Amino acid sequence: MKQKIIILTPVYKDWESLLKLLDKINIIFKTDIRSNFDLVIVDDNSNEKVNFSNFKKETINRLKILKLEKNLGSQRAIAIGLKFIQKTYIENYYTIVMDSDGQDNPDGIIEMIKKINSQNVNTVVAKRGQRKEPLWFRFFYEIYCFTIMIFTLKKIRHGNFCLINYKDVNKILLNNDIWNAFPPVISVSLKTFDYITLDREERYAGASKMSFIGLIQHALRVFSVLRVRVLIMSIIYTFSIYYMFESQYLIFLLFFLLIIFMFNFVNFFLSINCKKRFKKNYSIFNLLEH
């Protein structure tokens, strides 16, 4: 791969994990890929000082830290990071987006680059294999994936971990829904991309910050990105139920219509709101270079 490689990762009060991840990435780029890369870290307003003086930047050309002025969450941190990369590098680059906690196995970078070099694709995403989160999380995650399939006829089992050509970065950033959720925007914005399958690893340090409420919020943001498909399938299901039961279960039908209406209202409200916020907030950071 002759193009410049940029690694983008959001971090929030998890610098210990990030430094361990970067040590492993350094080894991969030194021994397997035999290339250098630029690193863009989006600090999601951690309010912590990190000393990079002892960090070995063997394969890092440039290290840039975007210090956000307020905590926005990982999805919005990624959106800001991609916008910064687009404006800074212009063209002829690949961006690797990955979480900073170690759950995205850095060995996947090797597989992604091999896939890019051997296939005629611009983007490769890491589909989730086995997960090591608590049982409750895995249970509700499967319900979330099943619900997406029912209401959109799409399988979205990938997270943030991906390798994207600059042309696809430009396409993705045309969709302001990236402010709500990054993974489904890939599915909506790109006609073609390829997969690798990776198990979700354990964190390098600390406990997961994902809660049940956080999972619900993330699910709602994903549905807002896919709102048009959700609306179409909602109409189809509503008419199907009406013709199946007619007036025999009128109360049930009215209750179902109310739930469907509220569901779609929330989807469109979140979408309209996020477009305004993306245009307003994508530059709220201070740039630090090391």
User: Of the candidates 262, 104, 264, which has an alpha carbon nearest to the alpha carbon of residue 197?
Assistant: 104
Query: Residue 57 and residue 154: Cα distance in Å, rounded?
Result: 40
pLDDT classification of 244: cutoffs 50, 70, 90: confident
How do residues 48-62 score in pLDDT, each as one tens digit? 777 666 667 788 899
Residues in the chain: 290
pTM: 0.87
Among 122-131, 161-170, 196-205, 251-260, name the most confident range: 161-170
Q: What phi-psi label fits residue 107: left (phi over 0), alpha (psi between -120 and 50 degrees) or beta? A: alpha
Whether residue 140 contacts residue 58, with contact meaning beta carbons closer than 8 Å, is answered with no
DSSP-assigned letters across all residues of 160-213: EEEEEEHHHHHHHHT-GGGGT-HHHHHHHH-S--EEEEEPPPPPSSS-----HH
Residue carrying the six token digits 């909506």: 188
Q: Give me the mean pLDDT over the 191-206 stretch.
A: 85
Q: Flag whether pLDDT at 38 surpasses 80.
A: yes
> Domain locations in the chain?
4-133+155-207
How do residues 147-197 score in pLDDT, each as one tens digit? 989 998 888 888 899 999 999 999 999 998 999 999 999 999 998 899 999
CATH class of 4-133+155-207: alpha beta
pLDDT-wise least confident of 26-35, 54-63, 263-272, 277-286:
277-286
Task: Supply the pLDDT for residue 34.
Answer: 86
User: Of the candidates 54, 49, 46, which has an alpha carbon nearest to the alpha carbon of residue 13?
Assistant: 46
Task: Supply the pLDDT for residue 9.
Answer: 96
